[in-house]
Amino acid sequence: MSATLALCWLLPLPVAFYTSQFFALPSTPLPILLVLSLAYSLTFTATLLLPLDITTPIPEPTSIAASWNATYWITFVLSWIVLPM
């Protein structure tokens, strides 16, 4: 289970960075690309966590609940505090 959660967190990072680099202007600064990649990555992580959460039996919700909480709060802080700056 922990390997699957690690894959859900690590797999979207290079995909998100490539996507943000592909669609950004060449003059886009690197810090903007990194924050944008993190935002994309968290969105992709939530998409990967949903089927994992649905198929997991009830007695083992602790690691998935922690992943959901981390994804939710980091996305919340990014969307309301960091990205508008």
Domain enclosing residue 62, as ranges: 2-82
63-75 pLDDT, tens digit per residue, is 777 777 788 888 8
pLDDT in tens, 40-52: 888 888 887 777 7
Number of folded domains that form the chain = 1
pLDDT digits (tens, 9 = 90+) for 6-64: 777 788 888 888 888 898 899 999 988 888 888 888 888 888 777 777 777 766 667 77
> Does the predicted model carry a pTM greater than 0.85?
no
Percent of the chain with pLDDT over 90: 6
Contacts of 74 (CB under 8 A, 6+ apart): 38, 42
| Distances 24 to 5, 28, 34, 36, 85 between C-alpha atoms, Å | 29, 6, 12, 10, 18
pLDDT at res. 27:
92
